[in-house]
Structures are given as C-alpha cells and as structure tokens.
Amino acid sequence: MTTTIHQLAIIEKGAEIGHNVEIGPYAVIGSQVKIAENTIIAPHCVIDGNTEIGANCFIGAYSSLGLPPQDIDYKGEDTKLIIGNKVNIREYCSINKGTVKGGGQTIIGDNCYLMSYTHIGHDCRLYEEVVIANNTHLAGHVTIHRKANISSTFLAHQHIQVGELAIVSALSGSRKSIPPFVVAIGRPVRIARSVNLVGLERAGFSRETIKAIREAYNLIKKNETKIALAQIAEQVKDFPELQKIIDFYNNSPRGVIPFATVEDDLS
C-alpha cells in the first residue's frame, strides 16, 4: 500500500506524511505537522502547529489537534503537541499544544484511547495506555498516569494528577489529585475503594501486592498522612509498587482527594 490523500484534503507545504498514511476529504494538515506511517486521518480533521503524530494511529472525524492553547498568556510561541504510537482519537476530540510556562509540550503516550468529544488542554501529559471516555475535559497542566481509566464527562482542574491504574467514575469532577490504584466516585470525587481490583488483576499484580496496596491506603485513611507514608515506606523493599503511592502524595501540590464517608453522596 501507499499513502492515500483525498483530492479534497489540504496539505500545506512542509508537512511530513509517512508511508501508508490515509488522509480523508476536507482534512487540513498544517505545514509543521509530522505524521508517521500507517496512521489514518479521517475526514474534516484539522491538524496544525508543531504537531507530531506517531505510527498506527487513528484520528477521528472533526478532531482538532495542535491548535493554540486556550491561555490568555499565549503569544504565538512555537510550542508542540506530541502524540505517540497506536493512539486512537475518536470523533470531535480537541487537543491543544503546550505553552512556554508549562514546558512547551502537550504529550499523549502510546496506546492511549480518547473517545468522542474529549478535550485535552495545554501542557497535559497522558502516559501509556490511558483510556478516557466521551465528553471528558482536562484543563491545562493535567497529568494522567499509565493505564488510568477515566469514565465519561469527568472534569479535571488544572495541575491535578490521576494516578496509575486508577479508575474514575462518570459525571464526576475534581480539584485535587486522584491517587494510583484506587476507584474514585462522586461529586466531588472521593476514594470509594482503595483498590481497583479488576484493573490490578488484569495488569498482573499478585494477590500479595494487592493486599499490600489495600493495607497502605488503610494506613492513610486512619492516620495523619506523613505518619502513614513513613509506615508505608517500611514495606517498599518487599512491595516496590508502594513507592508510587508515596511519590504521588509527596508530589501533588493541589492535594489528594479524601476517602468517602457515609455522609458523601456518591450517586
């Protein structure tokens, strides 16, 4: 097979299009865009700015990638959007490039899946294998760690994080970070379960490690955070995954969501 560009697509001079790329009608590809091999660009997409798209990706119809950040301080600087390999971006998604003050890059890791109407704001970082369901919106500077699973219509405040293998319920929102391995539910979102059991089992975590994670969160729930983290650190030698919990709590400047109580409305 060879690259197929529909006659109604607009490809600006300077764009780099890889082997076996397919570009549909009415797509607009800017002059700084680089698209690697075997990627499909559906009709009516707009891809502009200093944007790199990896191999074997799918970009759904009407998506807008690499456009200027929605930041009043942006003055036209040459910042970037980097999309990894095997990324699936469905219809009507929008992803802005970065800002100078945010490091200059918005990054989507390999094997991410973004469902329709998702918005990824400037300077966000998605690590590998993140799944985000329809109509979710991430403000600027949000970090989503590896294999996190975000349900539909989640709203994320600037500068928060969602930890590795966390799962976040639909119709929720957060102004604080969501730690790794948990199930988070509600409005505002709370830790409903300290272990995303299905996700951890699918990721190959042993029963002993899952038990250690559950016990670590029980310590955090029952004790002052610094004391709990010191106690958890004593178990890291046997269960290295616990270090991710410690690092997350120590590197979440906006704070971490609390555990649910009987008074919380998690409906």
140 assigned to active site: yes
The CA-atom distances, in angstroms, between 82 and each of 25, 35, 165, 255 are 24, 10, 22, 28
98 assigned to active site: no
* Three-state secondary structure call for residue 137: strand
Q: Which amino acid is at 116?
A: S
Of 66, 140, 163, 186, which one is the catalytic site residue?
140
| 229 backbone dihedrals φ, ψ, rounded to 5° | -65, -35
Report the distance separating Cα 103 and Cα 147, nearest Å.
23
| 248 backbone dihedrals φ, ψ, rounded to 5° | -65, -50
Secondary structure letter of residue 187 according to DSSP? T
| Residues in CB range of 234: below 8 A, 6 or more apart | none
Which own/partner pairs from 119-128 qualify as long-range (CB within 8 Å, at least 24 positions apart)? 119/93, 119/94, 119/95, 120/93, 120/94, 120/95, 120/96, 121/69, 121/70, 121/96, 121/158, 122/69, 122/70, 122/71, 122/74, 122/79, 122/96, 122/97, 122/98, 123/69, 123/98, 123/99, 127/164, 128/84
Whose tokens are 């995954």? That residue is 241
Of 49, 84, 109, 123, which one is the catalytic site residue?
123
Of 24, 48, 49, 122, which one is the catalytic site residue?
122
Catalytic site residues?
122-123, 140
